[in-house]
Amino acid sequence: MTRRKVTANISLTLDCRYNGPGGPADMGAIVPYATTDVARNHMNRIWENATTAVLGRLNAQGFLGFWPSVAQDDSADPRDRGYAKWLVDTEKVVLSSTLTEAPWERTRIVSAPAADVVTELKTTGEGDILVNSSASIIKPLLAADLLDRLYLIICPEIAGGGQRLFDNGLPASKWQLAHQETGDLGEVALIYDRAR
């Protein structure tokens, strides 16, 4: 059995929310920090060892509308273009119970619990499995203790409402800080590895 590392990236506010009180599209407390040097350097780290991207339906569809054009844009920041090319070219697994056909090339749709899908992915192939900004997948993987690394951007704002990543009822776990970097706007890039 191969031992693939399962990683996840997400941006959070100080009150651990990945969106604001207006719902999933309310990213007002996060967007201002997405294009800083610290955030862009962090984005390069998340995919450097990953060979599979796991996405929820909303992110898969949203990313499709944005990243392929960045991959083709010679004037885009080279870090953005590198990530975009990786995302377009890599194997993608989209978890959805409603999609009937894949929204991207090199993509397969799976309608199964996240923990089951990731457990199966760990047994084949090589390279990290990156859960790409999809809280609907990160949450059940945290609950099943299947994540080996967390890539976080902490944005220096309190949203005051919206969905939280770390819900009550998660099993206790210990993490070791592997990297940290603070940006000029007060955003902090963190990498935590699961201490097992």
Sheet order of strands, 149-155 included = 107-110, 91-95, 50-56, 128-132, 6-13, 149-155, 188-194, 175-182
Write the CATH number for 126: 3.40.430.10
- What span, in angstroms and rounded, lies between the C-alpha atoms of 54 and 108? 10
Q: Which domain holds residue 74?
A: 6-194
Reported pTM: 0.94
Burial class (CB in 10 A: 0-12, 13-18, 19+), 57: middle
| Count of domains observed in the chain | 1
Predicted confidence pLDDT, tens digits, the chain (196 residues): 458 999 999 999 999 999 999 999 899 999 999 999 999 999 999 999 999 999 999 889 888 889 999 999 999 999 999 999 999 999 999 999 999 888 788 999 999 999 999 999 999 989 999 999 999 999 999 999 999 999 999 999 999 999 999 999 999 999 999 999 999 999 999 999 999 9
Alpha helices in 3-73 (DSSP H): 37-47, 57-64, 67-72
Residue 138 lies in a domain: yes
Residue 1 lies in a domain: no
